[in-house]
């Protein structure tokens, strides 16, 4: 698989010009944006969708009899159907719009936790989780006295599946696990993990924040019980995300927040709740962001994951090869996916990131919201380069040259 140059990318994948911000410069240098794990840049069609809805449609959804409200509602519900098709859910009732992965996981921890977990019950997470799949369970632990069990990782940065199989007990109520590590780039064998958990009658929540942008998601084929992702990491706007949940679970779970739209009838004596998915969507949702997210998913589908995966994989392999030539280079994790974490010699990750920034190269530095993983690795942080469909071989070369330049300064 060859890595696409700028020109080939232009012709075969998506025009970089679809992403206006990529043509800007920083410090007088062309922007090299390699912080896509944190958030992706937006194509013009997503920016247009936001502008267009505010210019022409804006009205609150599900509330008005008037024309604009009905049109906004139609766009909002069409967006839900687009998400449903994108992740192959059975029905739109299983698609809850949230603010992002974090809110989706908090919703499950609070609501599933309320309905199905008691003191002493157990949730399994892994050593490579983002804080957003650790802290919600700790909040539940503080409220209800649940127990958090942690699946260790191997020195290569993979889940220790043998150890995982030993963690199930009659008190295990849920397994919550990331699909792709935002630090190590490990793609976890979620299908096997789900099968293992289901054999113990344990439902599974997949944190798909780092997988949905890079590979096709099929919740029915996976048979996961919950799946969470963020719009802004898949070329969509900020402030919108998705919780997929099997209807059989969502039906039995109590509302997460109370307010407008999530109710059936309200009186001071007794309130009934709306049907799915509205039971979980209290208050005015970010309907504009939902429409724009649908345009982002259309954009991704238009290119297709076959092309996206081939391009990103080739780019990641090329980057690992080139980076490995740098003296003192230390990688963390296998980088199966479009994420490469590293340290160079004794250079502090923050110094390296700051100096790369001065060369126009945006990378992420620090603990990447995964402090327990940093403890496991025995480090404080890494530099992380993470790729998207618009990145090029030339940008990888700029990164490598930039690191070499910084290294020579130390
Ligand atoms: N999980 C993983 C694996 C992530 O990488 C991130 C974002 N860095 C999150 C969850 C949280 O996503 P958000 O901040 O969009 O809610």
- Contacts of residue 405, defined as CB under 8 A and 6 or more positions apart, other chains included, come to 359
Q: What is the CATH number of the domain that holds 369?
A: 3.90.1150.10
**Measured between alpha carbons, how far is 150 from 133 in angstroms, rounded to an integer?**
12
Q: Are residues 81 and 131 in the same domain?
A: yes
Q: For the CA atoms of 27, 28, 34, 40, what is the dihedral angle to 10 degrees?
A: 90
Asked whether residue 66 is domain-assigned, the answer is yes
Which 3 state secondary structure label does DSSP give 22? Answer: helix
Q: Are residues 126 and 258 in the same domain?
A: yes
Which among 125, 129, 230, 243 is the best mutation to test ligand 1's pocket, defined by most ligand atoms within 8 Å of the CB?
230
Asked whether residue 359 is domain-assigned, the answer is yes
**Measured between alpha carbons, how far is 210 from 273 in angstroms, rounded to an integer?**
33
Q: Are residues 297 and 157 in the same domain?
A: yes
Q: Are residues 216 and 315 in the same domain?
A: no
Q: Are residues 24 and 53 in the same domain?
A: no
pLDDT of residue 232: 98
CA 44 to centroid of ligand 1, rounded, Å? 24
pLDDT of residue 64: 80
pLDDT of residue 182: 98
Which 3 state secondary structure label does DSSP give 366? Answer: strand
Q: Which residues are catalytic?
A: 369
Asked whether residue 173 is domain-assigned, the answer is yes
Tens-place pLDDT, residues 331-382: 999 999 999 999 999 999 999 999 999 999 999 999 999 999 999 999 999 9
pLDDT of residue 1: 43
The DSSP secondary-structure symbol of 274 reads P
Residues of the chain with pLDDT under 50: 1-2, 7, 10-11
Asked whether residue 167 is domain-assigned, the answer is yes
**Measured between alpha carbons, how far is 19 from 183 in angstroms, rounded to an integer?**
25
Taking phi over 0 as left and psi of -120 to 50 as alpha, with beta for the rest, 140 belongs to: alpha
Q: What is the CATH number of the domain that holds 132?
A: 3.40.640.10
To the nearest 10 degrees (0 to 180), the angle between helices 287-303 and 305-324 is: 80
Final residue of a structural domain among 273, 301, 329: 301
Q: Are residues 281 and 324 in the same domain?
A: no
Which 3 state secondary structure label does DSSP give 125? Answer: strand
Q: Are residues 53 and 148 in the same domain?
A: yes
- Whether the upstream peptide bond of residue 277 has omega within 30° of 0, thus cis, is yes
Contact 226, 111 (CB under 8 A): no
Determine how β-strand 226-230 pairs with β-strand 241-245.
antiparallel
- This prediction has a pTM of 0.97
Asked whether residue 313 is domain-assigned, the answer is yes
Helix H or strand E segment including 330 = strand 329-332
Number of alpha helices (DSSP H) and beta strands (DSSP E) in the chain: 14, 17
Q: Which two tokens stand for residue 357?
A: 């920034």
CA 177 to centroid of ligand 1, rounded, Å? 12
Q: Are residues 205 and 190 in the same domain?
A: yes
Contact 346, 339 (CB under 8 A): no
CA 280 to centroid of ligand 1, rounded, Å? 20
Final residue of a structural domain among 281, 301, 321: 301
pLDDT of residue 10: 47
Which among 132, 178, 180 is the best mutation to test ligand 1's pocket, defined by most ligand atoms within 8 Å of the CB?
132
Q: Are residues 245 and 361 in the same domain?
A: no
Asked whether residue 1 is domain-assigned, the answer is no
Asked whether residue 386 is domain-assigned, the answer is yes
Final residue of a structural domain among 301, 320, 346: 301
- Closest atom of ligand 1 to 230 CA is 15
Q: Are residues 279 and 248 in the same domain?
A: yes
Which 3 state secondary structure label does DSSP give 226? Answer: strand
Please give the backbone phi and psi of residue 248, each rounded to the nearest 5 degrees, phi first. -60, -30
pLDDT of residue 15: 78
* Residues of the domain holding 175: 48-301
**Measured between alpha carbons, how far is 242 from 40 in angstroms, rounded to an integer?**
17
DSSP result, 299-356 = HHHHH-HHHHHHHHHHHHHHHHHHHHTSTTEEEES---SSEEEEEETT--HHHHHHHH
Asked whether residue 387 is domain-assigned, the answer is yes
Q: Are residues 166 and 218 in the same domain?
A: yes
Number of folded domains in the chain? 2
């Amino acid at each position: 698989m060859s890595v696409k140059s700028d020109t080939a990318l232009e012709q075969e994948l998506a025009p970089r010009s679809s992403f206006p911000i990529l043509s800007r410069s920083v410090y007088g240098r062309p922007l090299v944006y390699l912080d896509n794990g944190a958030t992706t840049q937006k194509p013009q069609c997503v920016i247009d969708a936001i502008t267009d809805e505010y210019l022409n449609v804006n009205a609150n959804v599900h509330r008005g009899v008037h024309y604009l409200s009905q049109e906004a509602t139609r766009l909002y519900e069409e967006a839900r159907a687009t998400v449903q098709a994108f992740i192959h859910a059975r029905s739109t009732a299983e698609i809850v719009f949230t603010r992002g992965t974090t809110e989706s996981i908090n919703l499950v921890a609070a609501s599933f936790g309320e309905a199905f977990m008691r003191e002493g019950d157990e949730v399994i997470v892994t050593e490579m989780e983002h804080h957003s799949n650790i802290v919600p369970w700790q909040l539940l632990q503080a409220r209800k006295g649940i127990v958090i069990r942690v699946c260790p990782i191997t020195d290569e940065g993979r889940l220790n599946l043998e150890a995982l199989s030993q963690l199930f007990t009659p008190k295990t109520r849920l397994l919550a696990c990331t699909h792709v590590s935002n630090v190590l780039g490990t793609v976890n064998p979620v299908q096997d993990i789900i099968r293992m958990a289901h054999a113990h009658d344990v439902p599974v929540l997949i944190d798909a924040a780092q997988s949905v942008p890079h590979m096709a998601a099929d919740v029915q084929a996976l048979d996961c019980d919950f799946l969470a992702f963020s719009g802004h990491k898949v070329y969509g706007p900020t402030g919108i995300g998705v919780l997929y949940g099997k209807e059989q679970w969502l039906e039995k779970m109590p509302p997460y927040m109370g307010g407008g739209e999530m109710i059936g009838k309200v009186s001071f004596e007794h309130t009934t709740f709306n049907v799915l998915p509205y039971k979980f969507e209290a208050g005015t949702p970010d309907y504009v962001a939902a429409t724009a997210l649908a345009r982002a998913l259309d954009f991704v589908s238009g290119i297709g994951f076959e092309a996206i995966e081939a391009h990103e994989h080739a780019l990641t392999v090329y980057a690992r090869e080139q980076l490995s030539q740098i003296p003192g280079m230390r990688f963390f994790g296998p980088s199966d996916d479009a994420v490469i974490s590293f340290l160079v010699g004794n250079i502090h990750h923050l110094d390296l990131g700051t100096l790369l920034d001065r060369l126009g190269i945006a990378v992420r530095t620090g603990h990447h919201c995964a402090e327990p993983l940093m403890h496991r690795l025995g480090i404080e942080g890494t530099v992380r380069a993470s790729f998207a469909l618009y990145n090029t071989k030339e940008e990888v070369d700029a990164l490598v040259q930039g690191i070499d330049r910084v290294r020579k300064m130390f």
